[in-house]
Each structure stands twice: as C-alpha cells, then as structure tokens.
Amino acid sequence: MAIRILVIDDDQTVRSVLETFLQDEGYEVECVSDGQAAVSSYNPESFDIVLLDLVMPGMGGIDVLKEIRSRDSSACVIIVTAHGTIENAVEAMRLGAYDYITKPFRIEDVAAVLRRAAEFKRLRLENQELKRQLKGRFSFDRLIGDSPEMYKVFELIEKVSRSETTVLITGESGTGKEVVAKTIHYNSPREQKPFIPVNCGAIPYELLESELFGHEKGAFTGAVSTRMGRFEIAAGGTLFLDEIAEMSPQLQVKILRVLQEREFERVGGVKTIKADVRIIAATNKALETAIEEKSFREDLYYRLNVINISVPPLRDRVDDIPLLINYFVPIMCAKKKRENLIFSREAMNMLLSYSWPGNVRELENLVERLSVLKEDELVTPEDLPSRFFSGEPPVTPPVVETENGIYLNDLIEDFEKNLILKALRKTNGVKSKAAQYLNINRTTLIEKLKRLKLDEHVASRS
C-alpha cells in the first residue's frame, strides 16, 4: 500500500513541486493551503506522514502541529521551515515533530527524510502490534526495547514466566539483567510473593551463608537470636542470585543441594526447611571460563542454566538508544523539575555510533548528568563527555536493512558525514586543516558541509 502524505503549505509553488515529485516517488499526496482547513478535516486514519510549513497566514504551523498531535499522538509530522528559524524547528521537535527540513530544500533531502519517516512509521506500527499481542498477557512497562534483539528476550521471558524453571541471565554489566529478572517475577504466578535479590559478590562467605539460609540462636559468635535467611523470606516468591560467578566454592555446594533437593537447614540448625522459591541467577562473567578455571562447579552451572536469557549489549541494538532516551529524559527531567531535554540530530548520531561499555546504566547516567548540567534544552555534541569523541567511534554507520532493501544514498551520506566529523574533531574544527587531513580542497569541504547540513554545527566551533 502506498504511503499517504498530507502537505500543508500556503505557497502554491511549493505545493505543486512537492505534489509532482512525491507522486513520482510513488506516494499518495494531498495538498492543503490552509492550516485551519487541514486541521478540521484531519483524520488519523487517512495519512501516514504530514509535511507541515511552519510560517503560514492564519493558523500557524506550531498550532497546527499541536492540534494534530493532540488528536493523533502517533502522527508523524515533518516540519518545513525557512532557514534561520531553527528555534522554531526545535520548538516543533519538542512538541513531537519527527524531523525538520529547512527551506530552500533540495528535493533529494525531502525524499531522504520521507524514507526515514516511512520506515520509522512502519517499524513503530509493527512493534506496537507485537507489543500489543504480548502485552495482552504480559507487562514490559519497565523493560524498554523495540529492537529484534530485545523481542527475542521478551519472547523468552514470556515463555519462562509461567513455569517454575530456573533461569540464568547473562549479559554485560548494565544491560538490564536485574530488570529482566524482575519482569519474569512480576509476570509469574509468584508475583504477589516477594522478589528477593542477593548480591553474591558483595557479601563475604561466612556472612553470605547465614544471609541465605538464616541461623539459629548461638550458631556462631554474634548470633544472638534466630534469624531467617533469604530463602525463607522469599518463600512463595523468587530468589535472585546476582553475580553468581563470585560465589565461593563452599557455598556453591550448598546452593547445588538446595536446587537438587529443594530443602536446607539454617546455619547451626538441625530442622530441614522446604525451599519454596523460584531461582533466577545472573552473571556478567563467562561461566564457561570460570568452569575451565575450576572456580565454578560444572554441575551447578547445568542446574542453573536450564534456560539461558542472554541480554544483548546496547551497541548491538542501536534501535533501542533513542527509545531509552525518550524513556529516561522525562523521568530525570521531572525529578530535576526542568523542561525536557532534546537531542540534536548530530548529538543523537554520536550516541548511536558510541560503543556504550556501561550499556543502559551508562546511558541512564548520561541523561541524568545532562539533566543537571544543561541549562537550555537542546543537547548538541559539545555537551557530550569527551569519551564520546575519543575512542574512535566506528565511521561506518550500521547498515539498516529494510523491507525495501538498503538505502545506498543515505548510507553513503552518513559515511561521508562521519568521516568529515572525524576530521573536524581531529583539527578542532579548523576547516582548512580538516580539508588537508581529508585531502580535499577547502572549498570542496565547505560545499560538503553545506550540503550535509554540518555548517551550523561547525560555525559554532571555529
């Protein structure tokens, strides 16, 4: 089915240029000259994308945008605005516009933005549908993700939640292993009973044993009264054994026994207690290596690893980065009682190509830091910590394959952009030096900066 586009612009020439071009490109197009008229006949069902002029007599673009978004919160609106009114475009982005194009525009730029928007719209509809199907029974409210990699995780969570199976969650630090464990618990029949986490790495062996199994009065010096351990406290619920690779060999034996026999004794106790807990374990270490090094028992590994959920690192699910930002920004900004941050396209591109060694935790911290330090709302590359510049981000953009194949021109443009940005970073924004580094003429570089819309960004640096 053809993508349907609504063009709202008071300029007759712009309307007819767009109409002819977009129809040639295979879109269905309707043009309206008046904001008020467009709004009153707007129906969320009839259009996929709206191209909206900001400056019009009568009802202005910003009001049209507000009105459309209030009726259709998923409307994909692209702003067309005269060069030099960038503040208005930022305002529009804050109100939920998808992107903006500056006038005078090159028709290829319009085509590129529209392709991205159409792909975005399609993915969003597809994911909404998937999420709706899963959400019928499951709640993933706190586990954000719209990438194919996370959908694999969602599907596994859905499978294991209803069962009692022991689950081993693996993944780098900060990828969200604990969030996954909680999601399993709160979607399981045990949801009304406690979710009890134990950090096996943080507590020394002697303490951890009594922490887990409890102790009888007088079991050791300092055991002045009988105390329940986490296994008993979690009765009916879920026990989350975090950083399992750090557990001492003695304790590994004891945990193995609980997993096999489903019973244990308190430290210094003789009474056998039934362990009515579901066990979820997590680690950011490769247990296979620990087994080879004989620091982790192989038999315990097989008991824990009945089902393995591997949470992918953030750099392998780049699609989730904008989504996570949209999730954390309102939370952090509300906490600081400030207006929401907006990320410029250049800043967002840097976040997309960064390697995120600290994964989602690092991203959450970045948003929090910016919500404290940034005075205005627009985040540009200059606001990002230096690690986003050093450590040579990959200059090759991820090749996104869509239903319609890959978009060679967009990819090449991004590639070119990244190389130019790299040169400018290396030369502190001095254009003549950057041109020298790239082995091109200064004038060629300046032309490219214009064409790739990098000139505003550079102007503020040199």
Ligand X SMILES: Nc1ncnc2c1ncn2[C@@H]1O[C@H](COP(=O)(O)OP(=O)(O)OP(=O)(O)O)[C@@H](O)[C@H]1O
Footprint of ligand X (CB under 6 A): 142-145, 171, 173-179, 284, 360-361, 364
Torsion-angle region of 397 (φ positive above 0: left; ψ -120 to 50: alpha; else: beta): beta
User: Would you say 178 or 456 has its CB closer to Mg ion?
Assistant: 178
User: Cα dist. 283→173, 235, 255, 346 in Å?
Assistant: 9, 23, 16, 35
User: Would you say 178 or 377 has its CB closer to Mg ion?
Assistant: 178
Structure tokens at 209: 């044993």
Please identify the residue of the shown chain whose CB is closest to the bound Mg ion: 178
* 3-class DSSP state of 54: coil
Listed residue (11, 8, 3) closest to 77, CA to CA: 8
Question: What, of Mg ion, ligand X, none, does residue 174 touch, CB below 5 to 8 Å by kind?
Answer: ligand X
Report the nearest approach of Mg ion to the CB of residue 358 (Å): 12
Structure tokens at 153: 């995780």
* Residue type at 175 in one-letter notation: T
Structure tokens at 254: 């004891």
Report the nearest approach of Mg ion to the CB of residue 137 (Å): 26
* Residue type at 363 in one-letter notation: L
State residue 411 phi and psi, 5-degree precision: -65, -45
Report the nearest approach of ligand X to the CB of residue 157 (Å): 11
Question: What, of Mg ion, ligand X, none, does residue 387 touch, CB below 5 to 8 Å by kind?
Answer: none
* Residue type at 227 in one-letter notation: R
User: Would you say 60 or 357 has its CB closer to ligand X?
Assistant: 357
Contacts with Mg ion in 126-185 (CB under 5 A)? 178
Please identify the residue of the shown chain whose CB is closest to the bound ligand X: 176
Question: What, of Mg ion, ligand X, none, does residue 307 touch, CB below 5 to 8 Å by kind?
Answer: none
User: Would you say 34 or 178 has its CB closer to Mg ion?
Assistant: 178
Structure tokens at 442: 């200064």
* 3-class DSSP state of 280: strand
User: Would you say 5 or 157 has its CB closer to ligand X?
Assistant: 157
User: Would you say 361 or 422 has its CB closer to ligand X?
Assistant: 361
Question: What, of ligand X, Mg ion, none, does residue 102 touch, CB below 5 to 8 Å by kind?
Answer: none
Report the nearest approach of ligand X to the CB of residue 167 (Å): 14
Q: How far apart are CA 221 and CA 191, in angstroms?
A: 37
Report the nearest approach of Mg ion to the CB of residue 283 (Å): 9
State residue 454 phi and psi, 5-degree precision: -100, -5
Structure tokens at 78: 């692209």
Report the nearest approach of ligand X to the CB of residue 282 (Å): 6
What stretches of 200-329 adopt beta strand conformation (E)?
214-215, 227-228, 238-242, 263-265, 272-274, 278-283, 307-310
Q: How far apart are CA 148 and CA 89, in angstroms?
A: 32
Question: What, of Mg ion, ligand X, none, does residue 144 touch, CB below 5 to 8 Å by kind?
Answer: ligand X
Report the nearest approach of ligand X to the CB of residue 461 (Å): 32
User: Would you say 255 or 314 has its CB closer to ligand X?
Assistant: 314
Q: Which residues bind Mg ion (CB under 5 A)?
A: 178
